[in-house]
Structure 1
Amino acid sequence: MKKLHKISCLLLLLIIPTFLISCATNDEPVEKEAYMMGTIMNFKIYGKNAETATALVLKRISNIESKMSVNIKTSEISKLNAKAGISGQKLSEDTYSVIEKSVQYSKLTGGALDATIEPIVGLWGIGTDKERLPSKTEIDDKLKLVNYKDIVLDKKNLTVKLKRKNQAIDLGAIAKGYTADEVKKVLLNNKISSAIINLGGNVYTIGSNPDGKDWNVGIQNPLSTRGEYLGTISVTDKSIVTSGNYERFFIKDGIRYHHIFDPKTGYPAKQSLISTTIVSDKSVDGDALSTSTYIMGLDKGLKLVESIKGVEAIFVTKDKKVYVTPGLKDNFKLTSKEFTYEKR
């Protein structure tokens, strides 16, 4: 999905389903594609330890998925959900920390991010062979179960409990971000100083590119097919996470229903935004914020991002306007004539 040029490395936020793997030399990277956590992931890793590091990265991702996936019956999340309203579930430090971080962002965003959204996600089934438009009665019934305040945390014992029966947690809005951060740890522990990874839209640049320059990361045009981008940003050692209504959706009676649900309504979020990109040091923050700011909308989303140190954003609206926070003004370049750059 990515091609590295000697002068400029351009990574598009897209996924091309082609399996690639090669042996690393001093100049050539190990390139790997894998399907994990319900998405296609791509890795380009440089250095003499690249092959070993790649294998360890895949092992770490598989380990996290086995704990946090709602689609794995033996996962810690599935066990926690099964005990909702009954008792707490002992968790690993991985799963506990992600739930704890999710609750922190729920408070910060006024509930725009809510891990207890799973009953709504399951009801709509978007992205599965069971996707459908539920009735308002069905939505209202499931919506009663959505409330992050019903997540009871016991940090001392690494235990989490859901207060009411039939409540359920889905970490889909934050787990890939945590995973990307863990991948970075694995790479650094194996003395990898140059790499670029894409965990299904969660991009992480490790160090600078092999030429010692910034990585140039392309931002997907949300109104076009994958591979067409509206602009680029130059970054080093940063996470870039994008959420949008173009990722997973279905259309019924001419109306598009996408996968980013508003926890307050139970319906796909209705805002002027069509994509949000968060640039941050940690991908777990970018993951949580890209989803929550999309739900919050342009003004509230920008205000939140600008209040958090070290976090920047690129917001794209339905009327084809691009809003970029001040910290990215020297790093972002709008390349598509289809969009208008709005200064903050």
Structure 2
Amino acid sequence: MSKSNFMLDTYIEITLYDWTDASTIDLAFDEIRRLESLLSVEQTGSDLDRLAKAAGEEWVEISPETEEVLRLSKEYAALSEGYFDVTTGPLVSLWNIHNEQGHYPSQAELEQVLPLIDSDDLLVKEGHAFLARKGMVANLGAIAKGYIADQVKELLVAQGVEHAVLNLGRNILLIGDKQEGTAFTIGIQDPNEEEGVLADVVSATGKSIVTSGIDERYFTYQGKKYHHILDPYTGFPADTGLASVTILSDTSAQGDALSTTCFLLGIEKGMALVEQLDDVEALFITTEGELIPSSGYSNYQVQQ
């Protein structure tokens, strides 16, 4: 049983392999809708929208889910030397990269927004959050999809689902294995080729597989492509020699945050971070097409 929908700015497909009750998938999509209404800064009245509007003025009451994601985001900011930073909201808005359209900012525009980016100025206490300076915006685009996938998995497992694939764009989250007891196989897009051309294939059970890459969202300006993974220090799309990072981990929130973090850190620092984390593997693909796996990645690789 399968159902798809356009939500979270991507096509989402949920497939249940051991299930006949259609209302269960509807519950899952209702949960995505509910969480998006809290976590999307682009939805009027969401926790993130209200947080941005009150920036520099007052604390905002937030849901337990928003609090959890904001706290996680601050943890990854610390882990990543500040490269993972959800307060890049003003920068994301400035570039405004959607549907192969975007805005190439002037130096003056960048100088206006870069001082507004600092996770240390995102304050969180029980049930409340505060952005310390007017003009600051928290945008959870680099972690919310993963967090939402984890929550939906939890909901489905509580319903009794044992075999399922949640596909939230390039966030794949697996529940168990296939009904016959074999692992799921997941293709990893080659970021340097057209959609559907695979760089590799992995086999996994119950895992999260998340990819961030230059081919997801971009626009062309004066003959050069500019992608959506923005460096909070320079204000420009990260230029680290990487074309994509795929993370295999236990939770999709971790995979989401780490795929962005490693892309921004670059090959050496990014892989060093992966290697120090338990139960996390990665495949880095360079702009030259080289595949760089983490030490345990071959355990998931389907030999072709």
Name the aligned partner's letter for residue 229 of structure 1: L
Name the aligned partner's letter for residue 62 of structure 2: L
- With over 3 angstroms needed to count, the CA separation of the structure-2 counterparts of 1:39 and 1:172, relative to structure 1, is same
Q: Name the structure 2 match of 1:47.
A: 18
Q: Name the structure 2 match of 1:281.
A: 250
Checking the alignment, whether the CA contact within 8 Å between 1:49 and 1:192 is kept in structure 2 is no
Instruction: State how far apart, in whole Å, the 2-side matches of 1:128 and 1:138 are.
Output: 22
Q: Is 2:166 the partner of 1:197?
A: yes
Checking the alignment, whether the CA contact within 8 Å between 2:77 and 2:85 is kept in structure 1 is yes
Instruction: State how far apart, in whole Å, the 2-side matches of 1:166 and 1:178 are.
Output: 26
Name the aligned partner's letter for residue 271 of structure 1: T
Q: Name the structure 1 match of 2:7.
A: 36
Residue in structure 1 matching 2:299, options 309, 326, 330: 330
Instruction: State how far apart, in whole Å, the 2-side matches of 1:99 and 1:121 are.
Output: 18
Q: CA deviation at 1:208?
A: 0.6
Q: Name the structure 2 match of 1:223.
A: 192
Instruction: State how far apart, in whole Å, the 1-side matches of 2:298 and 2:99 are.
Output: 39
Q: Name the structure 2 match of 1:182.
A: 151
Q: Name the structure 1 match of 2:110.
A: 139
Q: Name the structure 2 match of 1:98.
A: 69
Aligned pairs for 1:42-121 (under 5 A) are 42-48=13-19, 50-121=21-92
Q: CA deviation at 1:333?
A: 3.7
Instruction: State how far apart, in whole Å, the 2-side matches of 1:53 and 1:79 are.
Output: 31
Instruction: Map Cα deviations across residues 39-93 of structure 1 (whole Å, 9 max, x no partner).
Output: 1101111223542320110010000000111111111100010000000111101
Residue in structure 1 matching 2:208, options 229, 239, 243: 239
| Larger Cα-atom Rg | 1
Q: Secondary structure at the match of 2:296?
A: helix
- With over 3 angstroms needed to count, the CA separation of the structure-2 counterparts of 1:268 and 1:144, relative to structure 1, is same
Q: CA deviation at 1:102?
A: 0.3
Checking the alignment, whether the CA contact within 8 Å between 2:100 and 2:220 is kept in structure 1 is no
Q: Secondary structure at the match of 1:326?
A: coil
Q: Secondary structure at the match of 2:299?
A: coil
Instruction: State how far apart, in whole Å, the 1-side matches of 2:262 and 2:41 are.
Output: 24
Residue in structure 2 matching 1:168, options 137, 146, 151: 137
Instruction: State how far apart, in whole Å, the 1-side matches of 2:203 and 2:243 are.
Output: 22
Q: Name the structure 2 match of 1:14.
A: none
TM-score (normalised: structure 2):
0.97
Q: Secondary structure at the match of 2:89?
A: helix
Q: CA deviation at 1:128?
A: 5.7
Q: CA deviation at 1:37?
A: 1.1
Q: Name the structure 2 match of 1:300.
A: 269
Checking the alignment, whether the CA contact within 8 Å between 1:49 and 1:191 is kept in structure 2 is no
Q: Name the structure 2 match of 1:252.
A: 221
Q: CA deviation at 1:36?
A: 0.8
Instruction: State how far apart, in whole Å, the 2-side matches of 1:142 and 1:278 are.
Output: 30
Number of equivalences: 304
Checking the alignment, whether the CA contact within 8 Å between 1:68 and 1:95 is kept in structure 2 is yes
RMSD: 1.2
> Could you say which structure has the higher helix fraction?
2
Q: CA deviation at 1:302?
A: 0.2
Instruction: State how far apart, in whole Å, the 2-side matches of 1:117 and 1:231 are.
Output: 32
- Greater shift, 126-135 or 280-289, is seen at 126-135
Residue in structure 2 matching 1:271, options 231, 240, 254: 240
Checking the alignment, whether the CA contact within 8 Å between 1:77 and 1:169 is kept in structure 2 is yes
Checking the alignment, whether the CA contact within 8 Å between 1:53 and 1:186 is kept in structure 2 is no
Percent of residue pairs identical: 37
Instruction: State how far apart, in whole Å, the 2-side matches of 1:317 and 1:50 are.
Output: 43
Q: CA deviation at 1:334?
A: 6.5
Instruction: State how far apart, in whole Å, the 2-side matches of 1:45 and 1:170 are.
Output: 31
Instruction: State how far apart, in whole Å, the 1-side matches of 2:80 and 2:24 are.
Output: 36
Checking the alignment, whether the CA contact within 8 Å between 1:239 and 1:279 is kept in structure 2 is yes
Instruction: State how far apart, in whole Å, the 1-side matches of 2:207 and 2:101 are.
Output: 36
Instruction: State how far apart, in whole Å, the 2-side matches of 1:131 and 1:218 are.
Output: 29
Instruction: State how far apart, in whole Å, the 2-side matches of 1:109 and 1:69 are.
Output: 23
Stretches of structure 2 that go unaligned for 5 or more consecutive residues are none
Q: Is 2:285 the partner of 1:316?
A: yes
Instruction: State how far apart, in whole Å, the 2-side matches of 1:125 and 1:220 are.
Output: 24
Instruction: State how far apart, in whole Å, the 2-side matches of 1:252 and 1:188 are.
Output: 46
